[in-house]
Amino acid sequence: MNSKPNRGLKGLRQFLDPVQQAEWLEGRAEWPDAEERQDSIEQRIKYAPRFQKLLRRPQAPELLGILERYGQSCLPVPRATERYYWSVSCLPSTSDKPLVRVNASWMELFTLYADGDDLRARFIVHLSDFTVDGSPVPEAIDEAFIERSVRAPEGLGYSFASGPDIFIVRIRGSASIRDFLAAPRTLRAVRRFNLTHMNRGRNAYQASHCYSVADHMLGEGAP
């Protein structure tokens, strides 16, 4: 890994070259991350009230555990790229009322919602990772594989977005969300989509980044 960002390159390529990214994608290498994060006291204070409100939700312990797994398994060198190449919003003011949302570039990556006292999730991934032949064609969707990727298939839903090679997976239940993040093929799909958008350039959602939530994603939150 580059010890310092290479400003002549765009996006994640400043930190990991294409070979290093491919090795991380396939789980063959975990590259050294930055030793220190680029924190912002003003930004941290700005979203501290929202974070405290989130902690009062019954879903908070399970949510923070899932986010820690996501942050440490689905984002390459997350400390080096925090806020500027990915970000997490806490209780964002959007009509779908999420608890948290992870973004990169201009794209939503992962969102968690309340589902009673439990959680439901929305993953945005490449359709081609979920078809029988690797093509971005809805008719080739591998339904059996998708159903096997979660604990409770009855809580699974998906749809096809208008953009090319975009697939939206909706999962109800914390156990199923954890299964989806743990299975090798689905984890690879999440990683590949995240690489795509972290390589597109600077994150458009820097201003809404909540450092207190990110602490937990990076394994630095209070127990």
pLDDT at 2 over 90: no
| Interval 91-97 mean pLDDT | 94
Look at residue 164 in the predicted model and tell me its pLDDT.
Answer: 86
| Interval 66-90 mean pLDDT | 97
Look at residue 3 in the predicted model and tell me its pLDDT.
Answer: 46
Partners of 172 in beta bridges: 120
Q: Measure CA 10 to chain center.
A: 20
* CA–CA distance, 80 with 36 (Å, rounded to integer): 8
pLDDT at 200 over 90: yes
pLDDT at 222 over 90: no
Look at residue 140 in the predicted model and tell me its pLDDT.
Answer: 96
Number of Cα atoms under 13 Å in the Cβ half of residue 123: 30
Q: What is the pLDDT of residues 166-187, one digit of tens each?
A: 999 999 999 999 999 999 999 9
Q: What is the pLDDT of residues 30-74, one digit of tens each?
A: 898 988 888 899 999 999 999 999 999 999 999 999 999 999 999
User: Which among 75, 81, 87 has a CA at the least distance from the CA of 209?
Assistant: 87
Look at residue 6 in the predicted model and tell me its pLDDT.
Answer: 61
Confidence of residue 10 (pLDDT cuts 50, 70, 90): confident
Partners of 158 in beta bridges: 169
Sheet containing strand 167-172, edge to edge, reads 87-90, 100-104, 107-115, 118-125, 167-172, 156-160
HEC assignment per residue over the chain: CCCCCCCCCCHHHHCCCHHHHHHHHCCCCCCCCCCCCCCCHHHHHHHHHHHHHHHCCCCHHHHHHHHHHHHHHCCCCHHHHECCCEEEEECCCCCCCCCEEEEECCEEEEEEEEECCEEEEEEEECHHHHECCCCCCHHHECHHHHHHCCCCHHHEEEEECCCCCCEEEEEECHHHHHHHHHCHHHHHHHHHHHHHHHCCCCCCCHHHCCHHHHHHHCCCCCC
Look at residue 58 in the predicted model and tell me its pLDDT.
Answer: 97
pLDDT at 27 over 70: yes
* CA–CA distance, 162 with 104 (Å, rounded to integer): 19
Q: Which residues contact 142 (CB under 8 A, 6 or more apart)?
A: 130, 131, 132
